[in-house]
C-alpha cells in the first residue's frame, strides 16, 4: 500500500517529504481577470460562482467549484496570482533568509543516508541520499556493508540534471544479475520500469510503462531464473475509459528481451477497481505472492502462484490477514487480526494451503505486530506500542529467544534478513540520527555498521518527554515533546504541534535536523500519536476512520489544550503543521477551533470531503474516509468537511496552504477552494496564503525543494507567533 503523504512511517525506512517548491511562473494575459492592486502583496479577488448540489435531500452550496478545473486558463491565472501574492509575503518575512541559510548549511553537511534495503546473494541494495544530489540513487554493497564496496547502479541525478526524476521503487533479481527500477518525473509518480545489469550498470532495452501510480503504487517480482518478471500494470489509453486509467491494477508477466506488446496477463481482472497490489517472491523463486489491498482502509487478500502455474486464493478481505511473507522453510508467515486487533502470527506450510488449519505460533501480546521477518531458524517481530518500536526474536515454533536492544523512545525499521539468522536494521530517535545495525543471532548482540549518519546538529542540550493529552471521550493520546533541557514553562514558549492520524500509519520517532532550527528560536516541537493511526493496533485505527473520524480531530485539539494547561504556551504562541491526511487534520482544527491556534501550515491537504472522491485517486481513500453515496457516511463527512465549515466573519488564524500542481494523490483543487473560502470569510486580518509548485506533486521532493519548503513554513510560523528570528 502506498498511503497518502506522510513524512515517515515505521513500516518503510524511506523518509518521505512534501515536494512543494515555489517555481517562478510567468503570469498569463488572463491574470488581468483578477482585480488586484499594483502591489505584489495584494490578495487576489476571487469571484463567487454558486453551485447548489443535493445529497440525500441536503442542499449544499459551493461558491468556488469553478476552481476545481486546473486546466482552465482562468484557474491557472488565479493560482498564479495567489502564488505571486504568497511569494511576496513569504520572501519579505524577517528572518526567512537566515532560516533558509541555516537549513542549507545543515543539509549540505549531512552525511549519506541509506534506506529501503534488499539482500540478494551477498549483495545489499540500498537507495542512498547524498547531498548535494537532489534525489536518492541506487547503490549496491557487499555483505560487509563497507562504503568502500559501494557501486552506483542507477543515478536519476545523472539521468535528469534538473533533479526532477525520482526512483519510485526497485527490485533486484534473485541472482542479483539485474535490477528493475521504476522512475517518474516531476512528482507525478507515473512510473516506468527500466532494467539494468547490476555488474555493468548498463540498461537493457526492456522498458515497461504504466507500472507505478499514485496511491496504488506499483510492484514487481522476478521469476526464479531471472528470465522475466511479474509486474503491476495500469490500463493503457484505449483499453478503458479515461476515468479508469488510474484504476484496475492487474498483474502481467514480461520476458526479458521481448516487446511490451508481448507481455501476458496473469491475474487481477476480478480484483476491486481500487486494488493496490504488492508482489513478493519465495526464497527459491518458485512461488509468487500477491497481496491485494482494497483501497486504503486496511483490508487485504492474498493469492499464491505455485510452480505448476496455478493461482490459489489464500485469504479474503474478511479474514483480516494484514501481512503474509515467505519464510525460508517452505512456509508462509501471516499476521492475523481475526483474534486480536494487536496481531497474532500464523504459519502456513506451502504444501498445505489452508488458513483454517494454520497454527498460531506467536499469540497476541501487549505490543502491536508491525512487521515480521523470518530467517533460516528465527522469526523477527517488529512491535510498536504508542509510536516507539522494538524487536522480539522467536524460533520458528514461536518460542521467544531474545529482544534486540534499542534505546527508549526510538524506532526500528528496514529489517532485512542476511544469510543464516542474522539481520540488519535501521534505528533512530528524535535526537539521534539513523544508523544501520547488524544483529548477531548467536550472540544476541547488535553492532553498528559503517552506514550511519553523522549528527550534523547538536541535540545534547535537548530532551524528549512523552506526555498525554486527554481527548473528549477520555482516551489518552501520546505526545512526543522535543524541548531544550530546562525549558521554562511560563506559558510563552513558541510551540508547533504536528500529527497525522490516519491509514493505520504509526508515527514513529525519527531524527529531523530541521527541528534544531525551531529549538534554536526558543521553541518546542511536538508530535502526537492520534487515533486513526496504527500505534495501538487495529482498534486504534478503526476508532479514527469512517464515521469515527471526528475522534482524530478531538484527539489533536486535546493535545493542543494540554500544552496550554501544562504551562508551555498559550493560543497566541501555538502553531500547527500537517500534510495530506494531516492537512485534512489542519483544516478541521482551524475550522472547529479557530481561537485555539495562532498559525497553521497545511501541505497537500484534503478539505472538500463531499467532492473529494470525484478526483480519480481519491476513490482509493473511500475505504478510509467513506463515500457521499452512502447516507450515513455522507452525514459523517459533511459534519466535519473543513471547506463546508468555514463561517463568514470569523477570526481565523494565519494559514499557509502548500500544494503541488502535479499531485497524483490529493487534487490541488482542495487547496485552491479552501484558500478562496477562507480569504473571503476571515475577519482576523491574518494572512491566508496559497503556495503552489508547478513542477512537483505529493512526494519525491528534491533537496532544494525540501529546504525551500521548510524555510517558508518556519519563517511563516515564527513570524505569526511573534518570534524574532535569532541569527
Residue 6 has pLDDT above 90, yes or no: no
Containing 156, the helix (H) or strand (E) segment is: helix 156-159
Residues 482 and 556 in one domain: yes
What is the spatial distance between Cα 295 and Cα 617, in angstroms, rounded to a whole number?
A: 10
Residue 25 has pLDDT above 60, yes or no: no
Residue 337 has pLDDT above 90, yes or no: yes
Q: Tell me, what's the pLDDT at 3? A: 40
- 7 lies in some domain: no
For the residues 616-644, what does the mean pLDDT come to?
95
For the residues 550-574, what does the mean pLDDT come to?
98
- 725 lies in some domain: no
| 267: β partners | 251
| 37-51, 299-313, 576-590, 611-625: range with lowest mean pLDDT | 37-51
For residue range 464-518, what is the model confidence (pLDDT) as tens digits?
Answer: 999 999 999 999 999 999 999 999 999 999 999 999 999 999 999 999 999 999 9
Query: Cβ distance 18 to 5 under 8 Å?
Result: yes
Nearest alpha carbon to residue 403 among 387, 422, 426, 380: 380
For the residues 272-283, what does the mean pLDDT come to?
96
Q: Tell me, what's the pLDDT at 41? A: 62
Query: Cβ distance 570 to 539 under 8 Å?
Result: no
Dihedral sign from CA coordinates of 199, 204, 206, 211: positive
Residues 136 and 215 in one domain: yes
Nearest alpha carbon to residue 14 among 130, 172, 185, 129: 129
What is the spatial distance between Cα 693 and Cα 700, in angstroms, rounded to a whole number?
A: 13
Residue 696 has pLDDT above 50, yes or no: yes
- 21 lies in some domain: no
273 CB contacts (<8 Å, ≥6 apart)? 244, 247, 248, 619
What is the spatial distance between Cα 570 and Cα 564, in angstroms, rounded to a whole number?
A: 5
Share of residues in the chain with pLDDT > 70 (%): 93
C-alpha distances in angstroms, 276 versus 1, 9, 604, 620, 651? 6, 18, 22, 9, 42
Residues 143 and 37 in one domain: no
Interhelix angle 73-91/669-681, rounded to 10 degrees, is: 70
At which of 433, 452, 471 does a domain end? 452
Residues 188 and 294 in one domain: yes
At which of 452, 474, 509 does a domain end? 452
Q: How confident is the model at residue 458 (pLDDT cuts 50, 70, 90)?
A: very high
Residues 483 and 445 in one domain: no
What is the spatial distance between Cα 36 and Cα 88, in angstroms, rounded to a whole number?
A: 13
Q: How confident is the model at residue 663 (pLDDT cuts 50, 70, 90)?
A: confident
Residue 627 has pLDDT above 80, yes or no: yes
Number of domains in the chain: 2
Length of the chain as a residue count: 727
Q: How confident is the model at residue 618 (pLDDT cuts 50, 70, 90)?
A: confident
C-alpha distances in angstroms, 125 versus 133, 495, 527, 555? 19, 40, 32, 40
| 38-42, 320-324, 448-452: range with lowest mean pLDDT | 38-42
Residue 35 has pLDDT above 90, yes or no: no
Q: Tell me, what's the pLDDT at 703? A: 82
Q: Tell me, what's the pLDDT at 37? A: 34
| 14-23, 571-580, 710-719: range with lowest mean pLDDT | 14-23
C-alpha cell at 656: 499557509
Query: Cβ distance 677 to 48 under 8 Å?
Result: no
- 15 lies in some domain: no
C-alpha distances in angstroms, 432 versus 466, 513, 696? 16, 10, 30
Give the residue with greater pLDDT, 64 vs 109: 64
- Looking up residue 263, the CATH number of its domain turns out to be 2.130.10.120
Give the residue with greater pLDDT, 541 vs 700: 541
Nearest alpha carbon to residue 577 among 597, 558, 607: 597
Q: What distance separates the 2 farthest-apart alpha carbons in the chain? A: 76
- Looking up residue 40, the CATH number of its domain turns out to be 3.40.50.1820
Residues 556 and 649 in one domain: yes
- 349 lies in some domain: yes
- 689 lies in some domain: yes
Residues 333 and 196 in one domain: yes
Residues 48 and 127 in one domain: no
Nearest alpha carbon to residue 532 among 523, 541, 521, 524: 541
For residue range 287-303, what is the model confidence (pLDDT) as tens digits?
Answer: 999 999 999 999 999 99
Q: Tell me, what's the pLDDT at 699? A: 64
Q: How confident is the model at residue 240 (pLDDT cuts 50, 70, 90)?
A: very high
618 CB contacts (<8 Å, ≥6 apart)? 606, 612, 666, 667
Q: Tell me, what's the pLDDT at 1? A: 34
Q: How confident is the model at residue 64 (pLDDT cuts 50, 70, 90)?
A: very high
Query: Cβ distance 635 to 599 under 8 Å?
Result: no
Please state the φ and ψ torsions of residue 699, each to the nearest 5 degrees. -135, -165
For the residues 200-225, what does the mean pLDDT come to?
95
* Residue recorded with cell 508491525: 370
Please state the φ and ψ torsions of residue 672, each to the nearest 5 degrees. -65, -50
For residue range 158-171, what is the model confidence (pLDDT) as tens digits?
Answer: 999 999 899 999 99
Residues 524 and 617 in one domain: yes
For residue range 361-371, what is the model confidence (pLDDT) as tens digits?
Answer: 999 999 999 99
What residue numbers bound the domain in which 641 lies?
29-106+457-720
Q: Tell me, what's the pLDDT at 131? A: 87
For residue range 383-423, what is the model confidence (pLDDT) as tens digits?
Answer: 999 999 999 999 999 999 999 989 989 999 999 999 999 99
Q: Tell me, what's the pLDDT at 188? A: 86
Q: What is the 3-state secondary structure (H, E, C) of 185-244?
A: ECCCCCEEEEEEECCCCCEEEEEEEEEECCCCCCCEEECCCCCEEEEEECCCECCECHHH
Q: How confident is the model at residue 29 (pLDDT cuts 50, 70, 90)?
A: very low
- 306 lies in some domain: yes
- 608 lies in some domain: yes
Share of residues in the chain with pLDDT > 90 (%): 85
Q: How confident is the model at residue 243 (pLDDT cuts 50, 70, 90)?
A: confident
Residues 412 and 531 in one domain: no
Query: Cβ distance 544 to 502 under 8 Å?
Result: yes
Q: How confident is the model at residue 705 (pLDDT cuts 50, 70, 90)?
A: confident
Q: Which spans in 448-596 are helix H?
A: 514-520, 538-542, 550-565, 581-592
Residue 10 has pLDDT above 70, yes or no: no
Q: Tell me, what's the pLDDT at 580? A: 94
Residue 24 has pLDDT above 50, yes or no: no
Query: Cβ distance 482 to 525 under 8 Å?
Result: yes
Q: How confident is the model at residue 660 (pLDDT cuts 50, 70, 90)?
A: confident
Q: Tell me, what's the pLDDT at 496? A: 98
Residues 86 and 117 in one domain: no
Q: Model's pTM, two decimal places?
A: 0.90
Average pLDDT over the chain, rounded to whole?
91
Give the residue with greater pLDDT, 656 vs 699: 656
For residue range 80-103, what is the model confidence (pLDDT) as tens digits?
Answer: 999 999 999 999 999 999 999 999
Residues 363 and 380 in one domain: yes
Nearest alpha carbon to residue 155 among 117, 194, 110: 194
At which of 407, 432, 452 does a domain end? 452
Amino acid at each position: 500500500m502506498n498511503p497518502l503523504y506522510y513524512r515517515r512511517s515505521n513500516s518503510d525506512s524511506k523518509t518521505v517529504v512534501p515536494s512543494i517548491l515555489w517555481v517562478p511562473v510567468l503570469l498569463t494575459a488572463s491574470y488581468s481577470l483578477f482585480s488586484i492592486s499594483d502591489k505584489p502583496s495584494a490578495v487576489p479577488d476571487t469571484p463567487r460562482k454558486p453551485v447548489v448540489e443535493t445529497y440525500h435531500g441536503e442542499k449544499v452550496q459551493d461558491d468556488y467549484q469553478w476552481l476545481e478545473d486546473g486546466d482552465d486558463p482562468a484557474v491557472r491565472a488565479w493560482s498564479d496570482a495567489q502564488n505571486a501574492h504568497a511569494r511576496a509575503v513569504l520572501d519579505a518575512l524577517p528572518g526567512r533568509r537566515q532560516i533558509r541559510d541555516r537549513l542549507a548549511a545543515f543539509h549540505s553537511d549531512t552525511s549519506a543516508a541509506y534506506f529501503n534495503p534488499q539482500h540478494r546473494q551477498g549483495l545489499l541494495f540500498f537507495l542512498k541520499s547524498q547531498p548535494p544530489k537532489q534525489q536518492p540513487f541506487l547503490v549496491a554493497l557487499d555483505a560487509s556493508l563497507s562504503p568502500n564496496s559501494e557501486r552506483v547502479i542507477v543515478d536519476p541525478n545523472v539521468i535528469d540534471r534538473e533533479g526532477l526524476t525520482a526512483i519510485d521503487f526497485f527490485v533486484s533479481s534473485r541472482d542479483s544479475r539485474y535490477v528493475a527500477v521504476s522512475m517518474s518525473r516531476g512528482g507525478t509518480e507515473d512510473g516506468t520500469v527500466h532494467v539494468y545489469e547490476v555488474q555493468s550498470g548498463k540498461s537493457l532495452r526492456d522498458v515497461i510503462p504504466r507500472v507505478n501510480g499514485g496511491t496504488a503504487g506499483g510492484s514487481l517480482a522476478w521469476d526464479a531464473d531471472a528470465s522475466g518478471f511479474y509486474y503491476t500494470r495500469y490500463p493503457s489509453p484505449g483499453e478503458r475509459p479515461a476515468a479508469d486509467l488510474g484504476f484496475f491494477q492487474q498483474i502481467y508477466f514480461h520476458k526479458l528481451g521481448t516487446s511490451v506488446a508481448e507481455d501476458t496477463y496473469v491475474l487481477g481482472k476480478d480484483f476491486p477497481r481500487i486494488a493496490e497490489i504488492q508482489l513478493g517472491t519465495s526464497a527459491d523463486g518458485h512461488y509468487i505472492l500477491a497481496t491485494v489491498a482494497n483501497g486504503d482502509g486496511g483490508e487485504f487478500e492474498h493469492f499464491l502462484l505455485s510452480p505448476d502455474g496455478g493461482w490459489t486464493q489464500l485469504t479474503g478481505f474478511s479474514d483480516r490477514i494484514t501481512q503474509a511473507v515467505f519464510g525460508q522453510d517452505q512456509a508462509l508467515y501471516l499476521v492475523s487480526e481475526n483474534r486480536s486487533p494487536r496481531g497474532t502470527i500464523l504459519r502456513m506450510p506451502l504444501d498445505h494451503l489452508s488458513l483454517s488449519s494454520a497454527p498460531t505460533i506467536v499469540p497476541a501480546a501487549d505490543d502491536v505486530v508491525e512487521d515480521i521477518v523470518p530467517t533460516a531458524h528465527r522469526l523477527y517481530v517488529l512491535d510498536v506500542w504508542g509510536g516507539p518500536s522494538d524487536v522480539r526474536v522467536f524460533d520458528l515454533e514461536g518460542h521467544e529467544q531474545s529482544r534486540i536492544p534499542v534505546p527508549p523512545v526510538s524506532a526500528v525499521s528496514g529489517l532485512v534478513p542476511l544469510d543464516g539468522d542474522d539481520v540488519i536494521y535501521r534505528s533512530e530517535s528524535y535526537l539521534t540520527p539513523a544508523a544501520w545495525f547488524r544483529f548477531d543471532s548467536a550472540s544476541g548482540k547488535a553492532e553498528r555498521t559503517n552506514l550511519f549518519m553523522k549528527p550534523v546538529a547538536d541535540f545534547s542540550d535537548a530532551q524528549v518527554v512523552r506526555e498525554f493529552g486527554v481527548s473528549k471521550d477520555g482516551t489518552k493520546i501520546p505526545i512526543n515533546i522535543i524541548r531544550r533541557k530546562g525549558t521554562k514553562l511560563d506559558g510563552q514558549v513558541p510551540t508547533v504541534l504536528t500529527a497525522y492520524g490516519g491509514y493505520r500509519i504509526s508515527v514513529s520517532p525519527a531524527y529531523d535536523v530541521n527541528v534544531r532550527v525551531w529549538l534554536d528560536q526558543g521553541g518546542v516541537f511536538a508530535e502526537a500519536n492520534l487515533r486513526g493511526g496504527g500505534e495501538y493496533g487495529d482498534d486504534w485505527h478503526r476508532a479514527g476512520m469512517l464515521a469515527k473520524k471526528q475522534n482524530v480531530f478531538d484527539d489533536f485539539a486535546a493535545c493542543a489544550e494540554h500544552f496550554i494547561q501544562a504551562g508551555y504556551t498559550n493560543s497566541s504562541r501555538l502553531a500547527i503543521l500537517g500534510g495530506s491526511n494531516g492537512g485534512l487534520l489542519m483544516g478541521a482544527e482551524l475550522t472547529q477551533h479557530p481561537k485555539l491556534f495562532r498559525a497553521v501550515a497545511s501541505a497537500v491537504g484534503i478539505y472538500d470531503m463531499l467532492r473529494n472522491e470525484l478526483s480519480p485517486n481519491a476513490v482509493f481513500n473511500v475505504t478510509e474516509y467513506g463515500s457521499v453515496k452512502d447516507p450515513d457516511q455522507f452525514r459523517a463527512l459533511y459534519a466535519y468537511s473543513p471547506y463546508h465549515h468555514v463561517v463568514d466573519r470569523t477570526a481565523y488564524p494565519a494559514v499557509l496552504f502548500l500544494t503541488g500542481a502535479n499531485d497524483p494523490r490529493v487534487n490541488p483543487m482542495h487547496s485552491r477552494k479552501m484558500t478562496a473560502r477562507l480569504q473571503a470569510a476571515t475577519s482576523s486580518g491574518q494572512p491566508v496564503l496559497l503556495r503552489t509548485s508547478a513542477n512537483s506533486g505529493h512526494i519525491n521532493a528534491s533537496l532544494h525543494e525540501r529546504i525551500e519548503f521548510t524555510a517558508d513554513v518556519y519563517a511563516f510560523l515564527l513570524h505569526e507567533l511573534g518570534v524574532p528570528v535569532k541569527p
